[in-house]
Amino acid sequence: MYEKLYQNSKPSSRLPIQSNPIVTTRKMAKGLIWASAEDLARNRGRVLSLYRQILRSLNSPDLPFNFAARLAKKAEARAIFVVAAEERSVHNIEDLIGTGEYALSLLKKGQIPKYSLSS
């Protein structure tokens, strides 16, 4: 429904999407508010890469987890990605990717993200 509203609009009348200053995000192509199929396809590789990197980082010996805790954190990360896969808002998608990249940067430093993955 919303995609039909924006199909006939002129590209020059669309506002540019502001990117997060901390994270360099790619500009969404078609949708202004709701992500189009093209937007979702463009971010697919990026999200899969982020997902794999987070799961790999949870195996780091720098993190103070036993085997059961690692499995629980991985299951929680999978659940977050499954729920986030249903998101269609352009801004929420950018926020989720930014949050994932921030959590990954902390995991690579050997720290546990404070408010994500239910610490």
Residue bearing the bigger pLDDT, 15 or 41: 41
Structural domain boundaries enclosing 54 = 32-114
Task: Tell me the average pLDDT across 59-86.
Answer: 93
In a domain, residue 66? The reply is yes
In a domain, residue 22? The reply is no
Task: Tell me the average pLDDT across 6-35.
Answer: 51
Q: What gap in Å lies between CA 12 and CA 46, rounded to an integer?
A: 27
Q: What gap in Å lies between CA 9 and CA 33, rounded to an integer?
A: 13
58 Cβ neighbours under 8 A, 6+ residues apart: 65, 70, 73, 74, 77, 107
**Whether residue 80 has pLDDT greater than 70:** yes
In a domain, residue 5? The reply is no
In a domain, residue 95? The reply is yes
In a domain, residue 17? The reply is no
Q: What's the pLDDT at 36?
A: 86
Q: What gap in Å lies between CA 89 and CA 68, rounded to an integer?
A: 35
Q: What's the pLDDT at 29?
A: 53
Residue bearing the bigger pLDDT, 7 or 58: 58
In a domain, residue 27? The reply is no
Domain count, the chain: 1
Q: What gap in Å lies between CA 6 and CA 31, rounded to an integer?
A: 7
Q: What's the pLDDT at 57?
A: 96
